[in-house]
Structure 1
Amino acid sequence: MKKQRNKKVLVEVSSRHLHISKEDFEILFGRNEILKKVKDLSQPGEFGSDKFVTIYNKGKEIKNVRVVGPFRENSQLEISLTDAYYLNLKPLPKLKLSGDLEGTTRVEVIGKKRSKKIPCIITKRHFHISEEQAKKLNLKNNEKISIKIKGKRGLIFKEVIVRTSKNYKSAVHLDTDEGNSAGIFGKTFGELILEKS
């Protein structure tokens, strides 16, 4: 028999963006450039920077893609499936968790100085939660849960991957395709559906 426990949580929609390594940053923008913080993001230490890039493929481009800091060990471009179709990417980027870049499509990213082909993924919907809070809810890293969005276009998103870390703040991250499909606009809260056997 299943026991179901529900909890409200912040839902954020992440638009296309680039996580970048210091090495790739210097290639795209030059060694003398600095990755400056413009605004803090919801997860501690992460920020939107003052730098933007263009994604290019076979005559199609998407401009003003924000670079997100701080520097990472490996660069990764995160886009939506709609973006991938528009850019006519073949093969399509794989649906993956952040940091899993094995076998990914590489896409040309153009910076202020130069360009480079960078691994590109469509990010799996996921739930950031601190290790302490996860323990209280009896959740484990990489476990799958569901999130219910209410409203005129309300949906239940399944296959939401739990991601735990000591300093995470609780928030579900969807991409723009998912956010649009549920009619999410502005600050939104969803209902976690936690099912245990």
Structure 2
Amino acid sequence: MPLTIPVGVSNRHFHLSQADVEKLFGSTGLAGTGAGYQLTKLRDISQKGQFAANETVDVIGPKGRLERVRVVGPARGQTQLEISRTDAIALGINPPVRYSGDLKGSAGARLVGPKGEVELHEGIIIPQRHIHMSPADAKKFGVKDRDRVIVTPLPKMLPAGSEDRGVIFDNVLIRVDPSFVLDFHLDTDEANAAGLTNGDKVYITGHSKNVEASVKLITENDVRRAILEKRRMKVPAGAKVTPAAAELAKSHKVFV
């Protein structure tokens, strides 16, 4: 039996900056504090420190509207919306496939909340399928951060007379961090095409071929983890730092 990885199907969701949280949901009105609206937890999600919030936002594009898109907390430095290609077609926009936090030049739309609106000029992406791993997991699977691998679903029981879809996923990004919980994240289009649901199992069958080594990207999430772990970061030569990551790192003196 190969080493397996649980599937986590990622539906459309928001990460909001605190400024946009307050524009969309208003102020808590705490006397004398000046505190803006704070997202409220609906439930924890698989990755540590993150939660599905009670709050939702509508998204309006040139051709359509997505209603009640769930917000994931806590607030971040820059607003980001992760959607599927099907969602993008419904909205009439063409977002790039990117890893979380790589937002420069991405798509935009109008966001509508109960207390206000935000014209988002960039921040909408189709998430690159990826596997979260701890360093111990990475050692066990024989991979390292930023590797690209091939992933195959583990066969499962199917209804009588039904056949397996036979989908194999190439160019799956490996992300390694001590805070990560092992799972394979893919969007609803990909999961539906393969007949996968939350908790199904996949396994790594090899490394991707003919994939150019990408420039290392340091995102706001990377910086936040360094702050939580009380460590400093050295930016590798040629690395790309997102604006939100650079601003957060500067304010907390994270970069060496």
Superposed pair shares fold, TM > 0.5:
yes
CA spacing shift, 1:81–1:93, aligned 2, 3 Å: same
Name the counterpart of 1:37. 41
Amino acid at match of 2:108: R
Could you tell me which of 106, 109, 112 is aligned with 2:108?
A: 106
Amino acid at match of 1:84: A
The answer on whether the counterparts of 1:130 and 1:166 sit within 8 Å (CA) in structure 2 is: yes
Q: Which moved more, 1:110-119 or 1:73-82?
A: 110-119
Amino acid at match of 1:153: R
Secondary structure of the structure 1 residue equivalent to 2:19: helix
Greater than 4 Å deviation, 4+ residue runs? none
Secondary structure of the structure 2 residue equivalent to 1:18: strand
Matched, 1:187 2:199: yes
Amino acid at match of 1:139: V
Q: Deviations over 1:155-178 (max 9, x none)?
A: 110110001111101100000000
Matched, 1:46 2:46: no
Identity of aligned residues (%): 36
Q: Which moved more, 1:111-120 or 1:145-154?
A: 145-154
1:61-80 superposed matches below 5 A: 61-80=65-84
CA spacing shift, 1:70–1:58, aligned 2, 3 Å: same
In 2: Cα distance, 1:73 partner to 1:196 partner: 32
Matched, 1:25 2:27: no
Structure 2, unaligned runs of 5 or more: 29-36, 157-163, 210-256
Amino acid at match of 2:3: K
In 1: Cα distance, 2:4 partner to 2:140 partner: 15
Secondary structure of the structure 2 residue equivalent to 1:155: coil
Matched, 1:138 2:142: yes
The answer on whether the counterparts of 2:7 and 2:198 sit within 8 Å (CA) in structure 1 is: no
Distance apart, 1:106 and its partner CA: 1.1
Distance apart, 1:129 and its partner CA: 0.3
- Structure with the higher fraction of residues in helix conformation: 2
In 2: Cα distance, 1:137 partner to 1:97 partner: 21
Structure 1, unaligned runs of 5 or more: none
Name the counterpart of 2:118. 116
Distance apart, 1:58 and its partner CA: 2.8
Distance apart, 1:59 and its partner CA: 5.3
The answer on whether the counterparts of 1:154 and 1:183 sit within 8 Å (CA) in structure 2 is: no
Distance apart, 1:16 and its partner CA: 0.3
The answer on whether the counterparts of 1:9 and 1:189 sit within 8 Å (CA) in structure 2 is: yes
The answer on whether the counterparts of 1:6 and 1:194 sit within 8 Å (CA) in structure 2 is: no
Distance apart, 1:6 and its partner CA: 4.3
- Structure with the higher fraction of residues in strand conformation: 1
The answer on whether the counterparts of 1:6 and 1:193 sit within 8 Å (CA) in structure 2 is: no
TM-score, normalised relative to structure 1: 0.91
Could you tell me which of 176, 180, 188 is aligned with 1:168?
A: 180
The answer on whether the counterparts of 2:63 and 2:90 sit within 8 Å (CA) in structure 1 is: no
Q: Deviations over 1:27-80 (max 9, x none)?
A: 111121331111111011111000000010135111010000111111100000
The answer on whether the counterparts of 1:35 and 1:51 sit within 8 Å (CA) in structure 2 is: yes
Distance apart, 1:195 and its partner CA: 4.0
- Across the aligned residues of Structure 1 and Structure 2, the Cα RMSD in angstroms comes to 1.9
Matched, 1:15 2:19: no
Secondary structure of the structure 2 residue equivalent to 1:86: helix
Count of aligned residue pairs for this structure pair: 191
In 2: Cα distance, 1:153 partner to 1:142 partner: 28
In 2: Cα distance, 1:105 partner to 1:58 partner: 12
